[in-house]
Every structure is written in C-alpha cells, then in structure tokens.
C-alpha cells in the first residue's frame, strides 16, 4: 500500500534532507513523531509512518473518547548534536507548517526533545504541534489545559511525558516475562533517552536486575545490577551518561550490548540495530522493542525459530502516543496515577490477547499484533465512516 503523502524537503542552508510521510488519515488526521538522526531516509520515515498506523489502531477501545488517528511520521537527516540542528529543525517546521496545522500531529521522537519542538513551534506562531486535533474538539481549551498539566507533572525529577513510553515498554516486558515464567529476570537496555531510561527505571523498580545499559558512548555493565537512578541523574539531554561520576561499573564498546547474557533485551534507541548476523550473539529469552523498527525481519524470523519471542515495536512502545491522546480526549486525568493505571490495564489486555493468539497459532507476536491492529482499524472505519 502506498503512502497518502510523501514530502522530501532540502534545507536551503545546509543541504540536509527532511521528510514527512502520511501513511493513513482518519477523519483527516494523522499522528506520529519527528526524529532527528544522521542518515535518516525517506524509506525509514515511510516505515515509521506505517508503524504509527498500527499503533493508533492497536489501542482502540470503543469505550474511550479517543478515536484513533491515522499514521504519519517525520524525520530529518541531521545529527541532533550538530550545532546547526536547531536551525535546521526550525526551517523544516516552517516549511511543512501547513501539514502540521491541518493533518499531521507530531511531537518528540529519537533525537528530539518535546520542549525543543514546542519552542520552535511557538517561535513560528503555532500554539502546539497538535493543532490539527485541537481544531476538531468542542472542548479544545480544556484539552490544552489537560495536556499542559500532564507535561508539568514531574516524577522523580523526570517529566511524566518523558516516562510514559518507557513505562509502557517495561510493562510489556514484565507481562511477557510473567507469561514465560521467567523468575527474577535480568535486563539489558540499549539506549538511555526517554524510552530506554524510563524502561530501565521501571524494570528496576519492579525487581528486574538491570545489568547493562548502552548509550552512544558505549556499554555500562554491572552483573550484580546497576544503580539505574544514579545513571539517570548522570545523563545529559541526549541520553548520554557522564562516566566520570560512575563507580563499580565495567565499560565496553557501543555495540557490546548484544553479547550480554540476560533474560530481557530491550533495544530502545535506533532502528535497524539487530540484523541476521547478530542473532547468534543474542543470549536473551525475550526481545522487547522499545525503539521503532530495531529488528530486521530476517533477524526476527531467526529469533522466532530459536524460541526467542520479539515483542514488536508498535505494541511495546505504543504508550507515548496513546497517552497524549488519552489526555487530550479526557480519558485519563493529567496525573501519574491515572496515566500509569491506564497503561497497566491496556498493556495487560493487549499483551494477553496477542500472546494467547501466538501460543495457539505458533505465529510470531508481530503477526498476531498486526491482526489485532487490522481488526481494530476495521472497527474504527465502521465507527467513523471515512478513513483516508
């Protein structure tokens, strides 16, 4: 199936390329974040937009006020650490502003903080980057207030908005570990930004021994268990941990996370980091995809043959997107307790349904989750009448 809209933009100053892909529209709307990554391609953004279509459909509950949107995504081929990245981002948002106003509701993603995109939007005269949704609401002022309140909530020194996605990943991992009968699990987390950092925090708080994390500067390992809160306190805005304040850890190469024996392997940073050549290195019982598209299809098939289940990205990391809309549509209160309770309930429901279907059929978790998303998409179509 081809995308509804694909935009390729070239920055007139640096020559950097930026992309917007609208995969599907529901009631004229699409949802999906914007990433900054050196090497980002149109093909990558196209795949991410398709994943957003699945995420939106997957969490559909007819009892919710939130009716899923379509899927869209954006990406800019620039290193977020580049001194010119902010200016490139501003020019990109200015160029695609009509799509943001009318169709594409976006926010932070890999390499981009929410406060950064909010500032760029404000400088361009946009109250937010989800104006297309607000335009459809009868209670838009109240919805804006709920969203602002939710993002103002701090939990252990971290914004609630930066925690919900990783909390959902942790819940997916814990649900699957319980189903698999894994007692006292250990975990390795690759990536220590908002998703990876929060996943590590809530795995550790649930009693999982987090024995290694990897950021862009390499591996940090302690087989007796890392002090995750100390690591969070030592990371910068790009998720890189200051090694100078660490004690009782072993440092390793950036890609050594694949070799660490563990029960739960959580790739939570970049796409395409597990390919077929990496499968024999993995010594985990479960792979839980905190990042978007981290496992290539051939690798996932090989892991399935080995009996290693892969919890797909559009299930494991769906909660950042869903949380935004539960807040906006008023399905939950803008609080930590209401947010986490909703995530707990929905993740339990989804993992149970998908895992039971996989157990009965022998298919992958991805195949079964795709089936659930497709069923839900048909239900949404019947409810709203038109899906573009």
Q: Is residue 254 a contact partner of residue 270, using CB atoms and an 8 Å limit?
A: no
Element (H, E) at 215: strand 209-215
How far from the centroid of its chain's Cα atoms is residue 74's Cα?
14
pLDDT at residue number 237: 85
Q: Is 379 a member of any domain? A: no
Q: Is 144 a member of any domain? A: no
Residues 235 and 320 in one domain: yes
**Catalytic sites, residue numbers:** 73
Pick from 136, 153, 178: which residue ends a domain? 136
Residues 49-73 as b/e (b if ≥16 CB within 10 A, e otherwise) read bbbbbbbbbbbbbeebebbbbbbbb
Residues 128 and 168 in one domain: no
Give the pLDDT of the chain (388 residues) as one tens digit per residue: 689 999 999 999 999 999 999 999 999 999 999 999 999 999 999 999 999 999 999 999 999 999 999 999 999 999 999 999 999 999 999 999 999 999 999 999 989 989 999 999 999 999 999 999 999 999 999 999 999 999 999 999 899 999 999 999 999 999 999 999 999 999 999 999 999 999 999 999 999 999 999 999 999 999 999 999 999 999 998 899 999 999 999 999 999 999 999 999 999 998 999 999 999 999 999 999 999 999 999 999 999 999 999 999 999 999 999 999 999 999 999 999 999 999 999 999 999 999 999 999 999 999 999 999 999 999 999 988 755 5
Q: Is 96 a member of any domain? A: yes
Q: Is 141 a member of any domain? A: no
Q: Is residue 140 a contact partner of residue 128, using CB atoms and an 8 Å limit?
A: no
Q: Is 37 a member of any domain? A: yes
Q: Is 219 a member of any domain? A: yes
pLDDT at residue number 2: 84
Q: Is 213 a member of any domain? A: yes
pLDDT at residue number 387: 56
d(CA 342, CA 384): 24
CATH number of the domain encompassing residue 43: 3.40.50.10860
Residues 111 and 201 in one domain: no
Q: Is residue 132 a contact partner of residue 29, using CB atoms and an 8 Å limit?
A: yes
Q: Is 111 a member of any domain? A: yes
* C-alpha closest to that of 280 among 319, 253, 308: 308
Q: What is the pTM of this model?
A: 0.93
Domain count of the fold of the chain: 2
Domain extent at residue 17: 5-136
Residues 51 and 167 in one domain: no
Neighbouring CB atoms inside 10 A of 331's CB total: 17
CATH number of the domain encompassing residue 174: 3.40.50.720
């Amino acid at each position: 199936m081809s995308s509804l809209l694909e935009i390729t933009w070239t920055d007139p100053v640096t020559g950097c390329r930026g992309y917007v892909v609208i995969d599907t529209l529901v009631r004229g709307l699409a949802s999906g974040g914007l990433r900054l990554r050196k090497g980002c391609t149109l093909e990558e953004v196209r795949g991410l937009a398709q994943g957003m279509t699945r995420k939106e459909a997957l969490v559909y509950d007819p009892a919710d006020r939130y009716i899923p949107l379509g899927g869209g995504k954006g990406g800019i081929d620039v290193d977020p650490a580049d001194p010119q990245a902010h200016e490139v981002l501003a020019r990109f948002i200015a160029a695609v502003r009509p799509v943001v106003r009318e169709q594409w509701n976006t926010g932070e993603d890999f390499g981009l903080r929410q406060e950064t995109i909010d500032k760029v939007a404000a400088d361009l005269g946009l109250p937010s980057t989800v104006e297309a949704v607000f335009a459809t609401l009868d209670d838009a002022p109240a919805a804006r207030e709920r969203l602002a309140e939710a993002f103002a909530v701090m939990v252990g020194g971290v914004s609630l908005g930066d925690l919900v996605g990783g909390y959902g990943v942790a819940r997916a991992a814990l649900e699957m570990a319980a189903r698999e009968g894994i007692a006292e699990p250990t975990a390795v987390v690759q990536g220590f930004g908002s998703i990876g950092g929060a996943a590590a925090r809530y795995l550790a708080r649930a009693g999982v021994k987090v024995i290694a994390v990897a950021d862009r500067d390499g591996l940090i390992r302690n087989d007796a268990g890392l002090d995750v809160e100390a690591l969070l306190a030592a990371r910068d805005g790009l998720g890189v941990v200051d090694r100078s304040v660490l004690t009782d850890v072993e440092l390793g190469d950036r890609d050594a996370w694949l070799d660490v024996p563990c029960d739960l392997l959580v790739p939570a940073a970049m796409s395409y980091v597990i390919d077929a050549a990496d499968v024999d290195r993995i010594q985990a019982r479960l792979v839980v995809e905190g990042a978007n598209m981290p496992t290539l299809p051939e690798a996932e098939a090989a892991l399935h043959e080995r009996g290693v289940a892969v919890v797909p990205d559009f299930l494991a990391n769906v909660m950042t997107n869903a949380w935004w809309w539960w807040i906006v549509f008023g399905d939950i209160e803008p609080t930590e307790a209401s947010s986490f309770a909703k995530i707990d309930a929905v993740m339990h429901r989804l993992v149970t349904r998908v895992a039971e279907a996989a157990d009965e059929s022998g298919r992958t978790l991805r195949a079964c989750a795709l089936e659930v998303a497709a069923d839900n998409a048909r239900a949404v179509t019947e409810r709203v009448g038109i899906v573009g």
